[in-house]
Structure 1
Amino acid sequence: MQIQLNSDNRIVASPALLARVQADLEQELKHVASAITRVEVHLNDVNGPRGGEDDKRCLLEARIKGSQPVAVESRAPTIEQAITAAAGQLHRAIKTTLGKSGGAEKRHASIRHSPPEEPET
């Protein structure tokens, strides 16, 4: 799973921040990581120097094999809180998408789709 970090000019995309993002995403997405090719991370300081309660924004967009991309957004007082909340949302959204794309149907066989039984002779 490739992780691409993008930030605005008010958030410094330091190696420490990239390591934090990678650790959060790998921990949260470990059960669905095989279905993900890339995660794009967009970090923004929404209000700039004015600040505010939910001033930091994290947008995550996951590219999933054989499916449309999934995007989630979280806002929080700190960038770390926004990243953690968005990672949890992304995990739930990917599980939902994978379930809708046929993963659940493939695991549960249906009687209606079974081949007819041979009559006993």
Structure 2
Amino acid sequence: MQIVINNRNAISLSKEVAHDRLRFSLRRLSAWIRRANVDFVDVNGPRGGQDKQCRLELTTSKFGLVVVSARAGDWRMALNKAVARAVRKLMSSVKRPLAKRQPSPRETFLPQ
């Protein structure tokens, strides 16, 4: 899995910490993930508030492109929220083909 980290602003979170966090969190799904792009943006500049945004793009071999983003008060929490959302989204995609769809009662009584 290739990890690319981009930041448009000077952030207090080092690239090594973000890289390690991402690799650790996505280790179960690394068989499907080919590339991970992480973008950090300070939405409203130095004014403060819940404006640190982390945008995570995962290019997967089986499920296409998965894009999630999260905002928080600091960079680490924004990264943690984005990673958690991405893992939930990928896990639901992995489990979805295994679940069989139940036909509705209306479909069972339609003539062929």
- 1:83 correspondence with 2:79: yes
Higher-Rg member (1/2): 1
The count of corresponding residues between Structure 1 and Structure 2 is 100
The corresponding residue for 2:2 is: 2
Please give the TM-score of this superposition, normalised by the length of structure 2: 0.80
Q: Secondary structure at the match of 1:69?
A: strand
Q: Secondary structure at the match of 1:34?
A: coil
Q: Secondary structure at the match of 2:63?
A: coil
Determine the C-alpha separation between the residues in 2 that align with 1:84 and 1:18.
14
Please give the TM-score of this superposition, normalised by the length of structure 1: 0.74
Instruction: State the 4+ residue runs in structure 1 displaced beyond 2 angstroms.
Output: none
Structure 2 gaps of 5+ residues are 101-112
The corresponding residue for 2:109 is: none
Counterpart mapping for 1:11-90 below 5 A: 11-12=10-11, 17-52=14-49, 54-90=50-86
- Alpha-carbon RMSD across the aligned residues, in angstroms, is 1.9
Q: Secondary structure at the match of 2:27?
A: coil
- Report % sequence identity: 30
CA contact (8 A) 1:58 1:79 kept: yes
